[in-house]
Amino acid sequence: MLITGRTRPALDAALGRLGDKAVAVRSDAASLEDIGALAGTVQEQFGAVDALFVNAGATASAPFDSTTEEMYDALFATNTKGAYFTVQALAPLLREGSGVVLTTSVVNVLGIDALSVYSASKAALRSMTRTLARELLPRKVRVNAVSPGPIDTGILDRTLPADVVGTMKDTYRSTNPMQRLGRSEEVAAAVAYLAFGATFSTGTEFPVDGGASQL
Residues acting as catalytic residues:
118
Q: How far apart are CA 146 and CA 190, in angstroms?
A: 7
Contact 149, 209 (CB under 8 A): yes
Contact 147, 209 (CB under 8 A): yes
Please work out, in degrees rounded to the nearest 5, the angle formed at the alpha carbon of residue 210 by the alpha carbons of 5 and 152: 40
- Does residue 114 sit in helix, strand or coil? coil
Residues 6+ apart with CB under 8 A from 115: 61, 107
Residue 83 CB neighbour total at 10 angstroms: 26
DSSP 57: -
